[in-house]
Amino acid sequence: MPHTQLAGSQPVVRTCPFSPPGEYRELREQDPVAHVTLPDGIDGWLITRYADVRAVLSDPRFSSRRRGVTGNHLGSQEIPPPPPGWFIFMDAPEHPRLRKMLTGRFTVRRMRELAPAVERIVADHLDAMAAATGPVDLVQDFALPIPSLVICELLGVPYADRAEFQHNSATLLRLGAPAEEVAQAQLELNQLIHRLAVQKRTEPADDILSALVGDGDLTDEELAGIGVLLLVAGHETTANMIALSTLCLLRDPAQLALLRAEPEHADAVVEELLRFLSVIQFGIRRTALADVEVGGQLIPAGSTVVAHLPAANRDPELFPDDPESLDLLRPHRPHVAFGFGIHQCIGQQLARLELRIALTSLFERFPELRLAVPLEAVPMRDEMVVYGVHELPVTW
Ligand code: HEM
């Protein structure tokens, strides 16, 4: 039913750790384009139907320049200019100019070539876990190092710098982080990449930063921004998917048995976990450049719009068979966990590769893997842009 009054706040409180708050189901059915207050205090339009989410994300009248989801623009109605190089926040022509410098690096073929390196990294971490006595934190010992190492190798960032960049990435992606902390984190990340770019100018290697330096088409600021974007997006997202998927499977023995019995279905399992868990938990933002009608509702020019990926991925219009449950053998449908349109995740093939190898190898190597604490004691990432667990104590 169309209306323009602020209806309430974007729901953020979960009752089940693996599902978005139950209110999204009601919103999708009764108020699929809802005018709400977003978690950082901004007015916005919350889009919860799959078809509407895809329509918004493929419509150039919705700009990727946006009012921030993290603390950097807390409460402000201003739309900040995107930091140099951060093409995720840009529109044409800047966005395709920068994105096309990278697309060749993330193709299916490139990822196939990368598989043995990912298998080696995963096997090394499983060996180290096996040598431990007593419970380990699966986040620190497995889920976080794997994508961090892989993106470091691809970019040409020393893994020794991980403590600093993991800490700073977490600050960028924490809802309500103070603006000064966010600015400092951004500065330190830029300085890290800038330092490396200077080195690579004289000692180029076979990595993305060297290729970008060699390209000669980028300002130093753009180069640093692209490097930071890839570094941050490349490890936080996948790390959380690995850890949350593990927890989800440990809590659903019937589904885990399916994965074990039919490892050849691992690709389908990864797709269903991406759909079901949809870790970009607050959705992704756009700004209306004109008055646009979505699902029968007029969205005024200048409005912030949230394409809510978790709600869209549970829309019965697309997933008619019990979309609220995890069904690893569900027939494939095109979910939107990686977004949609020109900004659809550039690293999606990399994420799929890492998830497939990490999850199948983990459960093969540790058939008795189990939680070392009650589910209620696992700290969930409720305040983070990328949902997941802060820690995952496991034993076997
Ligand atoms: C499971 C893991 C991942 C998830 C769920 C995920 C999700 C997403 C989503 C939803 C978007 C669209 C954002 C928007 O339209 O505003 C996106 C874009 C992006 N992702 Fe990922 N991502 C993942 C892994 C990765 C990895 C491994 C990389 C490393 C290269 C990466 C790099 C990027 C970049 C650079 C963009 C911006 C693309 C553009 O604006 O053209 N992501 N991702």
Please state the length of the chain: 396
Pocket test for ligand 1, best of 70, 103, 338, 345 (most atoms within 8 A of CB): 345
- 58: tokens are 């493929």
Q: Report the nearest atom of ligand 1 relative to the CA of 350.
A: 27
Does the pLDDT value for residue 72 go beyond 90? no
How high is the pLDDT of residue 395? 97
> What is the 284 CA–ligand 1 centroid distance (Å)?
11
Q: Report the nearest atom of ligand 1 relative to the CA of 342.
A: 41
Q: Report the nearest atom of ligand 1 relative to the CA of 340.
A: 15
85: left (phi over 0), alpha (psi -120 to 50) or beta: left
> What is the 4 CA–ligand 1 centroid distance (Å)?
31
- 170 with 212: CB under 8 angstroms? no
Q: Report the nearest atom of ligand 1 relative to the CA of 355.
A: 1
Give which of 357, 139, 103, 120 is closest to 235, Cα–Cα: 139
Q: How far is 228 from 396, CA to CA, in rounded Å?
A: 37
Model confidence, pTM: 0.96
Specify which residues 35 forms β-bridges with: 45
Evaluate: CB of 306 within 6 angstroms of ligand 1.
Answer: no
> What is the 238 CA–ligand 1 centroid distance (Å)?
10
Domains located in the chain, CATH noted: 8-395 (1.10.630.10)
Of the pLDDT bands very low, low, confident and very high (cuts 50, 70, 90), residue 5 is low
Q: What is the DSSP letter of 83?
A: P
Evaluate: CB of 44 within 6 angstroms of ligand 1.
Answer: no
Does the pLDDT value for residue 334 go beyond 80? yes
Q: What is the DSSP letter of 81?
A: P
Q: How far is 61 from 321, CA to CA, in rounded Å?
A: 33
Evaluate: CB of 228 within 6 angstroms of ligand 1.
Answer: no
End-to-end CA distance of the chain: 52
How high is the pLDDT of residue 80? 79
How high is the pLDDT of residue 81? 84
Question: DSSP labels for 167-195?
Answer: HHHHHHTBTT--HHHHHHHHHHHHHHHHH
- Chain-centroid distance of CA 349 in Å reads 13
> What is the 261 CA–ligand 1 centroid distance (Å)?
31
- 339: tokens are 């977004």
233-263: pLDDT as tens digits:
999 999 999 999 999 999 999 999 988 888 8
> What is the 57 CA–ligand 1 centroid distance (Å)?
14
Average pLDDT of the residues in 250-279: 93
296 phi/psi in degrees, rounded to 5: 85, 0
Nearest CA to ligand 1 atom 18: 345
C-alpha torsion angle, residues 267, 121, 100, 185 (rounded to 10): 120
191-208: pLDDT as tens digits:
999 999 999 999 999 999
Q: How far is 23 from 10, CA to CA, in rounded Å?
A: 9
